[in-house]
């Protein structure tokens, strides 16, 4: 059974962690209409991975550093320059991919072929040391949400009112981007950098079709996120495919199922009110 393999136990744990925190951040991103921010982070982190190959450093901290840098960059471009938000993101997409592939090809050995496992995830690349790093990142995200979650919620509801309530809107936006960067790094090994953003966004999009509150949306999205991550990972083991695409396909299936379920639910609620 798959439990007999050490690497699968580690991968399953890592997948569950991603499924848990990715939607918790995604719910804020979707509300702020920044659904593509995670993709931007993922692409930037790819440059970090390429850089790690080239310099021989550990991929997780290097990717974390570049993604965090990308987070600041994105907020800076959004506020300071006249570049529109979507163009700013596009610039990061291109720069991130180009940098990642370029650095990886300059690196010695078979770096560019192992880059593939960072793009779409891999079952066998979660080392036991990685798990501790991932765990620490997940705990950090949960603590930040515990203390700053309400302020992040207020900012995503209306930045102007949030400012009138004394909330530091710029600081919260940057915090949001950094949290997204952390999720990207947590997810890069299992889901892969090109699809990790999907596990932030798709469960939220699925859940919000049937929920009536922000809290319920976040909770249901986490359930969907964990189910998709774990079953996708197990499925990919049996069909011998990279886990990222399998996880995302299952999350999308959840979206489709809830889209169908939502129709009678909404009708019943309308009749009640």
Partner 1 sequence: MNDTVISIERLCVEFDGAHVLEDVNVDIQAGDVIALLGPNGSGKSTLIRAILGLQPVDHGRITLFGTPLRRFKQWQRIALVPQRLPGASSIPVSVWETVLSGAISPRTRWRPFSRTEKNAAVQALHDVDLWDRRHSRLDTLSGGQQRRVLVARALASNADVILMDEPTAGLDAANVTALARLLGELKARGRTIIVVTHEIDAIESLVTRAIVLAPDAHHSVQYDGPPPVPNSFAHDHHHHHDAVIDDSPPVIGMES
**Applying CB under 8 A, does 122 fall inside the site for partner 1?**
no
Diameter of the chain by CA atoms?
Answer: 66
**Applying CB under 8 A, does 110 fall inside the site for partner 1?**
no
Residue 179 beta carbon to partner 1: minimum distance, rounded to whole angstroms: 16
Contact pick of 117, 156, 229, 236 for partner 1 (by CB under 8 A): 156
- Ramachandran area for residue 42 (φ above 0: left; ψ -120 to 50: alpha; else beta): alpha
Whether residue 111 contacts residue 53, with contact meaning beta carbons closer than 8 Å, is answered with yes
The runs of H, that is alpha helices, within the chain are 6-31, 37-55, 59-80, 85-106, 111-120, 128-157, 159-164, 169-188, 196-207, 214-239, 243-272
Contact pick of 4, 109, 213, 268 for partner 1 (by CB under 8 A): 213
- Ramachandran area for residue 109 (φ above 0: left; ψ -120 to 50: alpha; else beta): left
Task: Report the half-sphere exposure of 49 (CA within 13 A, side-chain side).
Answer: 28
**Applying CB under 8 A, does 273 fall inside the site for partner 1?**
yes
Site string for partner 1, 33-62 (x = CB under 8 A): x-----------------------------
Q: Which is nearer to partner 1, 113 or 273 (CB)?
A: 273
Q: Give all strands (DSSP E) within the chain, no chain letters.
A: none
**Applying CB under 8 A, does 158 fall inside the site for partner 1?**
yes
Residue 237 beta carbon to partner 1: minimum distance, rounded to whole angstroms: 33
Contact pick of 8, 22, 27, 77 for partner 1 (by CB under 8 A): 27
- Helix (H/G/I), strand (E/B), else coil: 228: helix
**Applying CB under 8 A, does 216 fall inside the site for partner 1?**
yes
Binding residues for partner 1, per CB under 8 A? 27, 30-33, 147-148, 150-151, 153-154, 156-158, 160-168, 204, 208, 211-217, 269, 273
């Amino acid at each position: 059974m798959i439990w007999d393999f050490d690497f699968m136990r580690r991968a399953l744990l890592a997948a569950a962690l991603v499924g848990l925190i990715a939607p918790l951040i995604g719910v804020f991103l979707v509300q702020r209409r920044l659904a593509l921010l995670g993709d931007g982070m993922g692409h930037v982190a790819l440059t970090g991975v390429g850089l790690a190959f080239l310099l021989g450093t550990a991929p997780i901290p290097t990717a974390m550093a570049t993604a965090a840098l990308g987070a600041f960059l994105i907020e800076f471009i959004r506020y300071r320059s006249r570049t529109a938000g979507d163009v700013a993101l596009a610039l990061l997409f291109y720069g991130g991919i180009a940098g990642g592939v370029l650095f990886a090809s300059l690196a010695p050995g078979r770096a560019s072929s192992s880059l593939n496992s960072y793009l779409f995830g891999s079952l066998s690349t979660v080392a036991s040391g990685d798990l501790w790093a991932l765990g620490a990142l997940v705990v950090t995200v949960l603590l930040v949400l515990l203390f700053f979650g309400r302020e992040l919620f207020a900012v995503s509801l209306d930045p102007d009112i949030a400012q009138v309530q004394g909330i530091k809107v710029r600081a919260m936006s940057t915090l949001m981007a950094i949290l997204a960067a952390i999720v990207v790094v947590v997810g890069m090994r299992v889901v892969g950098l090109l699809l990790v953003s999907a596990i932030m966004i798709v469960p939220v999009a699925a859940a919000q079709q049937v929920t009536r509150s922000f809290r319920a949306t976040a909770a249901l999205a986490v359930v969907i996120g964990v189910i998709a991550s774990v079953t996708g990972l197990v499925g990919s083991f049996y069909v011998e495919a990279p886990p990222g695409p399998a996880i995302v396909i299952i999350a999308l299936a959840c979206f489709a199922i809830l889209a169908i379920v939502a129709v009678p639910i909404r009708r019943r609620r309308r009749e009640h009110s």
